[in-house]
């Protein structure tokens, strides 16, 4: 006599169910990867739009903004003329730097205001060289240069705010920050290390939300 395997239909159903779940899982993964790629492409597209807008605003006046570099990849505006911007061991914003900021920063704000929702912070970073009257690698040197770089950033921030048109000030207060980096980014050229950088912190939360929806 032949024995009937009554469990076979049961295991066949389980197998079909697992196959179906696997197919669903694959489609969910594909959809998730598509969302990630779209969010990343949107994020990069906005970066390119900001870069183009900044470069278009200032490209015809390179000689006017001596020592200012706008990196299209990082969107950082780097000020690298320490003899014009600050004296050695000083955080005072020199008159030549004030003249540059009088024109540069209001126009910079005008461009960035167009991308309000994509910008979380406008960060002014102060930097210092490793020069110190004693051991440049000591904790005292770190504290000294941190205070100096923070003062440079703060003084540039207050000056930038003072020359910004009233219509932009409420928006600017919600975005503008000052940070000191001490000598953490110092290079061999001590003069080049005494610089100020204005960077844009993008709103990454919006990108995360797009991925999650």
Q: pLDDT (tens digit, 9 = 90+) per residue, 72-118?
A: 888 888 887 767 788 878 888 999 889 989 989 999 999 999 999 88
Quote the CA–CA distance of 105 and 109 in Å, as a whole number: 6
pLDDT of 187: 47
pLDDT of 2: 46
Helix (H) or strand (E) holding 148: helix 139-162
CA distances from 64 to 5, 61, 68, 129, 196 (A): 89, 5, 9, 26, 17
Could you report the per-residue pLDDT of 116-143, keeping only the tens digit for each? 988 999 999 988 776 766 676 788 888 8
pLDDT of 1: 47
């Amino acid at each position: 006599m032949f024995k009937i395997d009554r469990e076979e239909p049961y295991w066949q159903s389980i197998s079909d169910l697992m196959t179906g779940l696997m197919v669903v899982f694959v489609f969910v993964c594909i959809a998730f990867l598509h969302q990630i790629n779209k969010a990343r492409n949107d994020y990069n597209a906005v970066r390119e739009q900001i870069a183009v807008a900044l470069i278009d605003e200032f490209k015809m006046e390179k000689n006017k903004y001596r020592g200012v570099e706008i990196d299209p990849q990082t969107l950082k505006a780097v000020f690298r003329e320490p003899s014009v911007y600050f004296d050695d061991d000083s955080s005072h914003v020199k008159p030549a730097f004030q003249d540059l900021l009088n024109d540069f920063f209001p126009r910079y704000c005008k461009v960035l205001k167009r991308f309000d929702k994509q910008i979380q912070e406008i960060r002014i970073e102060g930097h210092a060289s490793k020069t110190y009257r004693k051991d440049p690698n000591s904790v005292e040197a770190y504290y000294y240069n941190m205070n100096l770089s923070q003062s440079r950033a703060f003084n540039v921030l207050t000056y930038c705010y003072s020359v910004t048109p009233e219509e932009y000030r409420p928006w600017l207060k919600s975005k503008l920050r000052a940070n000191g980096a001490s000598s953490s980014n110092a290079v061999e050229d001590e003069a080049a290390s005494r610089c100020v950088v204005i960077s844009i912190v993008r709103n990454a939360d919006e990108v995360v939300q797009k991925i999650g929806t």
